[in-house]
Copies of this chain bind each other. A is one copy, B any other.
Amino acid sequence: MELDVKINKQSHLPLYRQISDAIKLSITEGRLSMGFRLPPMRLLARQLAVNRNTVASAYEELIADGLIDSHVGRGTYVTEAPRDGDLLQSADAAPAKMPWEGLFAKSFDGPAVATLQDLFQVGTMEGYISFAGSYPADASLPIAEFRNCINHALRRYGRSLLKYGATSGFAPFQQFLAERMNKAGMTVQPENVLVTNGSQQALSLVAHLLLDPHDAVIVENPTYSGAISVFSSLQAKLVGMPVDGHGMEVADLEQAVARAKPKLIYCTPNYQNPTSGTMSLARRRRLLEISRRYQVPILEDDYGGELRFAGETLPSIKALDRAEQVIYMSTLSKSLIPGIRLGWVAGPVDLIGRLIAVKQMDDFSTSPLLQAAAFEFCRRRYFKIHLEKTRRLYQRRCDRMLDALARYFPKGSVWNRPTGGMFIWVWLPESVNSDAVFLEAKKLGVLFSRGNLFFIDGRGQNQMRLSFTTATEAEIEKGVRILGRIIQAFLKKSKQPRYFSTGESLPLV
């Protein structure tokens, strides 16, 4: 019997999970049987060229699953029988059941597909102090006003709201969105607008319409996990551009475009997701110039353009565009209410017309009722008041988090100071692994988004995205303090030159 663990550092599956999954499989398939002694953590870590804490996290998972156990003097060994029978292929299951796992399309077999699921699942967990979810706090959701609006809409438009409705959208809402974009310097008619179920659908429709398998896409690296998942599921080849405090770096962009011949450039110029930097005007112009020269469309994801609370507002890339080369998308999920699932995409009529066909295949149309209610909300002063309140709230919470970070995070940590949006991005000292911090923090009731979920190449192991929008100020104080302690503990242990035997508990409190 021998332990056979292979890991892939390019994969988006966290390394600790790759390791625990491999060992789990060896046990459930009978290749490692009861009593088998696993190698000491430091040996396996050296052999796999990973941080010892990564192996410690993997072993912790397996102990929690009841597959292995450890005692001082005996080391870590495979237990008699897994405590949770569900982990195994049940031997007495009817043999004729359809083998679904083998039936999935290639597109949905890759690990990248799990990235968004991981992000979303953690982001919507209840009962934690959550810095993971990128959505407004419960208390700030304007339920009374929205109920007024939905009732008003039903009275005003009647049964027409209960019919399928046009695929392109509820006309007054399209009109409102076009006017709003025009006020922001874009040139948009209602027929340039397609309403979608949140901007995730906008992203998915555009990607499906433009990408054939193996087409290249330029993305910021790190970038929004949902984009990584969608592009990967279409078997696109992702080409990452580095990001700094001013968004996507464009110095090497032309060379990258010339070499990769991408079908699309995807970017989040305002409060870049996840690093929160805002792309400078000069970079926006340069990006547009390269897009034009090489005839590569830009997908501008302005998820949080309305959420600026400091600094000057820059024109969107779409507002600078004179050659119809930019597809613009945004959403009401961040500025208003996520649960009404409303986003939109704006672009040239040639594109929108075809996108309508793609959306029809996807789900026919977006609920006219929710669009009418949102329109009602937006055209009243409700929206203006709500936006101002939301901006102030986010700014307060952001300040509170910056303050707490300064007090509780160890020296050697670095973070940005956002001018809007929802996130603070943190670089931890190199020896600290954010996967391990995540596992520990979760046990203590605190959630955040692990850095490597946002990278296309498995980097970001010492980085983390902290959302400041969902938790209250008191929760922010408490959550950041807990995170700080965990990180301090990891840091302290990593500086000590001694090794732990596998029988010891994790180097944490």
Contacts and interface: CB of A to CB of B under 8 A. Distances in A.
Contact of A141 (B163, B166, B200, B357): B163
A116 interface: yes
Contacts of A163: 124, 135, 138, 141, 338-339
Interface string A215-246: 10000000000100110010000000000000
Interface in A139-154: 139, 141, 143, 146-147, 150-151, 154
Contacts of A210: 103-105
A154 B99 CA distance: 42
A190 interface: no
Interface stretch (A50-58, A201-209, A265-273): A201-209
A98 B341 contact: no
Interface in A320-373: 322-325, 333, 337-341, 348, 350-351, 354, 356-358, 360-370
A97 interface: yes
A197 interface: yes
A316 B208 CA distance: 33
Interface stretch (A14-22, A65-73, A106-114, A493-501): A106-114
A390 to B, nearest CB: 13
Interface residues of A, number: 90
Contact of A209 (B105, B146, B151): B105
Interface in A116-144: 116-117, 120, 123-124, 133, 135, 138-139, 141, 143
Given A147-B151, A159-B141, A198-B363, A339 B368 contact: yes
A362 B200 contact: yes
Contact of A117 (B103, B215, B226, B360): B360
Interface of A: 94, 96-101, 103-108, 113-114, 116-117, 120, 123-124, 133, 135, 138-139, 141, 143, 146-147, 150-151, 154, 158-167, 196-198, 200-201, 204, 208-213, 215, 226, 229-230, 233, 263, 292, 295, 297, 322-325, 333, 337-341, 348, 350-351, 354, 356-358, 360-370
